[in-house]
């Protein structure tokens, strides 16, 4: 059953992909980037007004949606029996990726380059690590895989391609091949947005989760375990 939770990852992918390309189109139209000099980085397109305002809004909303998706995924994995520490490691990796995305949008490369690059590291590197951890966990724990059988291999292929492109992007940038490096950056961003969008398949099977409520300390003896309440999502 495809509920409203399944729409969240789809909306994130469509919102983010269309948003950054709109920023690119505006930057080309008002000539703040010159394609005759080479293909620009995403950050260059979003560094100048008015598209910098749209860039910030797109990435801020995308970061908020990504954070909610990571939290929902955390509860889904917990209900599938994933241990606390690996699950929390995956959660915090995803939340840091979302934080980095927001930092990239708010601290433009033109104005705050060190902060912008730190955010890009969180968004790209930890974003890629987040999905690799999901795949590793699925491999080790034999977790349920909603959807068609090709969803797992597709995720593996997207993660692998994303990793290759990240390495290529860094190497090409160091070698001053900026246009090719920028093309790799755009491809990495599209792949990460697509990987978030694929969570729609996992959330299609999500009808409810368990809400664990830890009682406040009191004079009465504590219960043997936290209270578990089934919460309809």
pLDDT tens readout for residues 132-169: 999 888 877 777 777 788 888 999 999 999 999 999 99
Span 77-101, mean pLDDT?
A: 92
- Give the 3-state secondary structure percentages of the chain, helix then strand then coil, rounded to 5: 70, 5, 25
Distance CA 129, CA 132 (A): 5
> What pLDDT score was predicted for residue 224?
47
Two structure tokens written together for 233: 């999502």
- Provide the residue ranges of all domains of the chain, joining segments of one domain with +: 4-208
pLDDT of residue 211: 47
Distances, alpha carbon 63 to alpha carbons 91, 100, 168, in Å: 14, 8, 25
Of residues 52, 14, 56, the one with CA closest to residue 30: 52
% of the chain residues with pLDDT over 90: 58
Question: H/E element holding 211?
Answer: strand 208-213
Higher-confidence position of 2 and 15: 15
* pLDDT higher than threshold 50 for residue 227: no
- pTM of the predicted protein model: 0.84
User: What separation in angstroms does the CA of 34 have from each of 38, 51, 198?
Assistant: 7, 15, 34
């Amino acid at each position: 059953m495809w509920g409203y939770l399944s729409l969240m990852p789809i909306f994130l992918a469509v919102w983010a992909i269309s948003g950054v390309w709109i920023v690119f189109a505006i930057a080309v139209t008002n000539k703040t980037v010159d394609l005759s000099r080479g293909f620009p980085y995403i950050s260059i397109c979003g560094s100048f007004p008015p598209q910098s305002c749209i860039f910030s809004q797109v990435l801020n909303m995308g970061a908020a949606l990504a954070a909610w998706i990571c939290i929902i995924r955390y509860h889904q994995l917990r209900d599938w029996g994933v241990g606390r520490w690996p699950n929390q490691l995956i959660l915090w990796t995803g939340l840091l990726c979302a934080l980095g995305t927001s930092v990239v949008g708010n601290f433009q490369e033109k104005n705050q380059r060190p902060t912008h690059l730190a955010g890009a590291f969180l968004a790209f590197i930890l974003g890629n690590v987040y999905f690799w951890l999901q795949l590793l966990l699925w491999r080790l724990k034999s977790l349920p895989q909603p959807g068609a059988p090709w969803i797992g291999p597709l995720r593996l292929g997207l993660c692998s391609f994303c990793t290759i492109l990240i390495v290529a992007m860094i190497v090409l940038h160091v070698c001053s091949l900026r246009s090719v490096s920028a093309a790799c950056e755009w491809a990495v961003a599209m792949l990460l947005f697509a990987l978030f969008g694929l969570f729609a398949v996992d959330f299609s099977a999500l009808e409810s989760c368990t809400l664990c409520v830890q009682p406040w300390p009191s004079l009465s003896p504590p219960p043997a375990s936290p209270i578990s309440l089934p919460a309809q999502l």
